[in-house]
Every structure is written in structure tokens, then in C-alpha cells.
Amino acid sequence: MNWTDKIQVYNEDCMQTMSRYADNHFDLAIVDPEYGINVANMGLGKGKGTNSREWIAKDWDNKIPNAEYFKELFRVSKNQIIWGGNYFIDYLKNTRCFLMWDKIQEFSGSDFELAWTSFDKPSKSFRMARCEAYVGINKIHPTQKPVALYNWILDRYAKPDFKILDTHLGSGSHAISCHYFGCELVAAELDTDYYNDSFKRFKLNIAQKKLF
């Protein structure tokens, strides 16, 4: 489905999406696959007296992607940024360029998240506290990342004329960022609830011209 003339999102398995494209079709893949830690059934983001969680428990995070996923991802994209790279070491080559989202404050979950990249560049970190990332918004996905994080990535590793792939769109933060950055995005989201919620979030964001 075309969300805009440059943002195309499929409600389907990402393997089906990637199968449509030729080798090296995408300049960059920025993906956030399942980590296999059952996060979809955890209470992340739901603090006492808050209303920051809107998702329901699901079973999509009970295993990591298989070898065929990574083979196809590397086939269709020239470069890759893979969140949760520390969970997929068996499928990835050595790299000197890791990206880190430093959440600054300590809490029950991870204090930071790592992304493996294919770039031969120094490792970099994006610093934003969780309280800042989610202030004033309702999370629609348990692993929702802030739009500001994707803005930071695109500014440093992409160009407006890039074709970008996202195999697990989730909350839609990446789509919002790509829209304002001006690049083309092809994305997939298998879960219909997440797809519909992210589409609503995207359209509301674009209508209000506000990043959230």
C-alpha cells in the first residue's frame, strides 16, 4: 500500500516483500528484527500511574530471524543497519561500526541498544533518555524507537535520493522520518494490528506536521 508517493508499506511477511526486488536494489536497509527475548509479552513502557502502553501481548518475539532472512537482506541491499545486531552475531560479519542508542538513565531493561552496520566507519552513539523519547506520546509497539533516532541515522548514513528498506516497520517511526527526509522507503509489517496502528500514527503525524 502506498502511504505517500515515496512511502510504500506492505502488510505481509518481509521475505515476500524482498523477493520482489533485484540484487542491490536498495541503497540502505535499516531494520529492527525480533530479538528472540519475548519482549512482546513484557510490561515495558507501562509505569505505575501512566498510560504509555497501548499494545497487547503477542508471540512474535519468541525467536530470531533465520539464515534465509539475512541472506535475502544482504542480497537486496548495498548497506545495512541492523538493530539488535548483538543477538545475530552468527549471521553477521565483523564490523568496526556499531551504532548505539544510549538511553542515559538506568531502568529494568537494557540501558542501551546496539545496531550492527556494514559501514567501515567509527562507531557512534545517539543519546536520548527514554523519558524524553516517549514524553507526551502513547507507545503503540513494545520496541518503539523515537523518530529522532531515525532522523539521526538518516542524516549520517543516507541521502534524500536513497532507496531504503525496512523489513519490520513496527510503530512506523522510520516511515515518519523517511517522509520528512525525502527518501523512498519500502517497508513490511506482518502483524495487521501494528500495520494499522502505524498507518494511523503516520497519517496523523503528516497531517499535523509534527514529529512524534
CB 98 within 8 A of CB 115: yes
Cell reading at 119: 559501514
Query: In terms of CATH, what superfamily is 7-36+61-208?
Result: Vaccinia Virus protein VP39 (3.40.50.150)
Per-residue pLDDT tens listing for the chain (212 residues):
999 999 999 999 999 999 999 999 999 999 999 988 666 666 544 443 344 555 577 766 678 999 999 999 999 999 999 999 999 999 999 999 999 999 998 776 789 999 999 999 999 999 999 889 888 888 888 889 999 999 999 999 999 999 999 999 999 999 999 999 999 999 999 999 999 999 999 999 999 876 66
pTM of the model: 0.90
For residue 29, count CB atoms less than 10 angstroms from its CB and return exposed for 0-12, middle for 13-18, buried for 19 or more: buried
Domain extents in the chain: 7-36+61-208
CA 182 vs. chain centroid, Å, equals 17
